[in-house]
Amino acid sequence: MTTDDFSFSTFSKNEFYDALNARLVDMTDLGSGQRIVDLACGTGGVTRLILERIKGARDSAIIAMDHSAIALKQAMEDLKDIRDNAVQFVQSQVEQVSESLKERADTIIFCNAIHYVPDKDALVGEISKALKPGGKFAFNTSFFDGGQPENSLQFYRKWMFKAARDLRKEYGLKPERSKKVESRKHLTPDDYKDLVERHGFTILKQKIETIDVPIGGWLDISTFEDFISGTMPGVPLEQASASLQRGIEQAFEELNLTYVQRNWLGVVAVRT
Ligand SMILES: C[S@@+](CC[C@H](N)C(=O)[O-])C[C@H]1O[C@@H](n2cnc3c(N)ncnc32)[C@H](O)[C@@H]1O
């Protein structure tokens, strides 16, 4: 698999991924006439899911926010096919969501990005400020303490070993382990519960889903810049991506796998 921009677009089009995000969006029970924020919208996969659900609803507005201008540009491009497209794109750090919104929102959906944010208390405080009273905050992540089922650990060990060996052999490179990124420090589901409750939210729904991720999902996530630099810090993207992909192919073959399971945490909370 090759990609020229290392954007999230390729991975986000995986069917299993779209489906699990759709289940989170459905868990929030979007009403009509709402202001909905798709926080850290990336290349717009979740924005599309929201648009499909509010289709035809008058006075609904979607604000798709991300700090990456490249991701936002790609999102605009990817969503061009939807008519009556009521999306406003806003370039902002998620940590500044309340300042970046003109009016408070009814719902904030934050998919697959909470693990990137170092100061989660400041973030959830901001989200609370950005919501109307009674507004909903939904998020999901597979980068939490419990995201990797026991039966997947052998795969990760083999994958990382093979990828590091490939990188050394093919390119004479190795990752700089000291450049550890925030997404690798994981909170437990209870930590997340305490976090949102500290900021005046009540949990409406919380679930952990186990997803069978096929080889294509692993290959595609290895073309996404943030994942590559989190896994192989300091290594040029092209080489790191190629070695990660060859590592996956070798690990799947040696362990005779058709998929590797991953757990996703999903939470819907209401601002009381
Ligand atoms: C893994 S993608 C998720 C995209 C989309 N929400 C989804 O679930 O498919 C993570 C996104 O978070 C964005 N992001 C990460 N940290 C951010 C921050 N502090 N402020 C704004 N956006 C951020 C990245 O630019 C990227 O587009």
Q: What is the pLDDT of residues 92-104, one digit of tens each?
A: 999 999 999 999 9
Give the dihedral sign, CA 149/155/158/163.
Answer: negative
Other beta carbons within 10 Å of 189? 16
Q: What is the pLDDT of residues 161-188, one digit of tens each?
A: 999 999 999 999 999 976 555 555 799 9
Instruction: Tell how far the Cα of 116 is from the centroid of ligand 1, in angstroms.
Output: 8
CA distance 215 to 252: 8
Instruction: Tell how far the Cα of 179 is from the centroid of ligand 1, in angstroms.
Output: 20
Q: What is the pLDDT of residues 225-244, one digit of tens each?
A: 999 999 999 999 999 999 99
Instruction: Tell how far the Cα of 255 is from the centroid of ligand 1, in angstroms.
Output: 32
The H or E element containing residue 106 is: strand 105-111
Kindly report the protein residue whose alpha carbon is nearest to atom 12 of ligand 1: 40
| Distances from the Cα of 110 to the Cα of 96, 203, 217, 255, angstroms | 14, 15, 21, 34
pTM for the structure as a whole = 0.95
CA distance 267 to 99: 24
DSSP secondary structure, 159-222, as one string: HHHHHHHHHHHHHS----TT---GGGS---HHHHHHHHHHTTEEEEEEEEEEEEEEHHHHHHHT
Q: Tokens representing 249?
A: 């192919």
DSSP label of 32: T
Kindly report the protein residue whose alpha carbon is nearest to atom 1 of ligand 1: 112
Give the dihedral sign, CA 121/126/129/132.
Answer: negative
Atom of ligand 1 nearest to the CA of 117: 19
Other beta carbons within 10 Å of 81? 8
**Residue 180's pLDDT is what?**
58
Residue from 13, 28, 19, 8 nearest 209 by CA: 19
Q: What is the pLDDT of residues 115-148, one digit of tens each?
A: 999 999 999 999 999 999 999 999 999 999 999 9
Angle between helices 237-254 and 153-171 (to 10 degrees): 130
Instruction: Tell how far the Cα of 67 is from the centroid of ligand 1, in angstroms.
Output: 8
Q: What is the pLDDT of residues 261-271, one digit of tens each?
A: 999 999 999 99
Pairing of strands 105-111, 61-66: unpaired
Give the dihedral sign, CA 118/46/80/87.
Answer: negative
Among 5, 6, 8, 92, name the best residue to mutate to test ligand 1's pocket (greatest count of ligand atoms within 8 A of Cβ): 8
Instruction: Tell how far the Cα of 66 is from the centroid of ligand 1, in angstroms.
Output: 6
Instruction: Tell how far the Cα of 162 is from the centroid of ligand 1, in angstroms.
Output: 28
* Ligand 1 residue neighbourhood (C-beta within 6 Å): 8, 12, 21, 40-42, 45-46, 66-68, 71, 93-95, 111-113, 116-117
**Amino acid, single-letter form, for residue 160:** M
Q: Where are the domains of the chain?
A: 9-271
Burial of 21 (0-12, 13-18, 19+ CB in 10 A): buried
Among 20, 37, 99, 116, name the best residue to mutate to test ligand 1's pocket (greatest count of ligand atoms within 8 A of Cβ): 116
Measured distance between the N- and C-terminal CA atoms of the chain, rounded to whole angstroms: 47
CA distance 197 to 116: 20
Atom of ligand 1 nearest to the CA of 8: 2
Question: Over the range 104-113, which residues count as b (16 or more CB within 10 Å of their CB) and which as e?
Answer: bbbbbbbbbb
Strand partners, 89: 64
Q: Could you confirm whether domain 9-271 is CATH 3.40.47.10?
A: no
